[in-house]
Amino acid sequence: MKKDRKVVLVGTGFVGMSMAYSFLTSGGVDELVLIDVDKEKAIGEAMDLQHGLPYARNKMIIKAGDYSECSDAEIVVITAGTAQKPGQSRLDMTAINAKIMKSIVSEIMKSGFDGVLLVASNPVDLMTYVAWKTSGLPQNRVLGSGTILDTARLRYLMSEYLNVSTNNIHAYLMGEHGDSSFVPWTHAYIGSKSLLEIIDEKGHDLNDLNDIYHQVQQAAYEIIDRKKATYYGIGLALNRLVLAILNDEHIIMT
């Protein structure tokens, strides 16, 4: 175990900075280093976060840096890559983001990094594979954000539909983070009771579940059409994943 809970973020766009900001309120990280191809932006983002430290949950070092900072980091989070544009699928970004991912991971590994890589660049499943093959790290130390955001979207919509707390909904979106994902409804529960039993008892139409899944599947496209990018939800999801890794917790909602 390393002395400090040090996290390096590569990519200071909306997603990365949503995660970075969340650590001010959640705590759990001792040091956060920001890396970006635009070094001045990384410095500016670090300064902006530093000025919020008097109101943060715990003492934390925040700074801009370079890839040498990865040498003693516990986790490196990669959010860098070209952004998804309106009308574009995640797979459309594969070629250019694969080149970016190979370059980033090569630089990370040159530092002597020996921690956990967490990838959130799209298409995330393919980019996680590229990161793993490029890094040479064991499979269990190269993780992708997967369907953690899709699952959160599902639970939110289910909570609205059934008027229950999201904390009581135990349902998962599985498969690829993309258009081929699916929900195993027979393994979905509200508290300890089967969701399908509750749907039957309340006399709801099972087709409503297909409508909810479709809303989850299309959520990113709708948000991007309306505000050009999605970042708050995935930023908080990455926060949860980072803290779970640092605390050696079982990672849920993936």
Residue/partner pairs of 232-236 with CB below 8 Å, 24 or more apart: 232/18, 233/149, 233/152, 233/153, 234/15, 234/18, 234/19, 234/120, 234/145, 234/149, 235/14, 235/15, 235/16, 235/17, 235/18, 235/19, 235/20, 235/21, 235/22, 236/18, 236/19, 236/22
- Which one is catalytic: 170, 177, 187, 204? 177
Strand partners, 228: none
Is 204 noted as a catalytic residue in this protein?
no
**Secondary structure class of 200 (helix, strand, coil):** helix
Choose among 117, 88, 101: nearest CA to 7: 117
Q: What positions carry a catalytic annotation?
A: 177
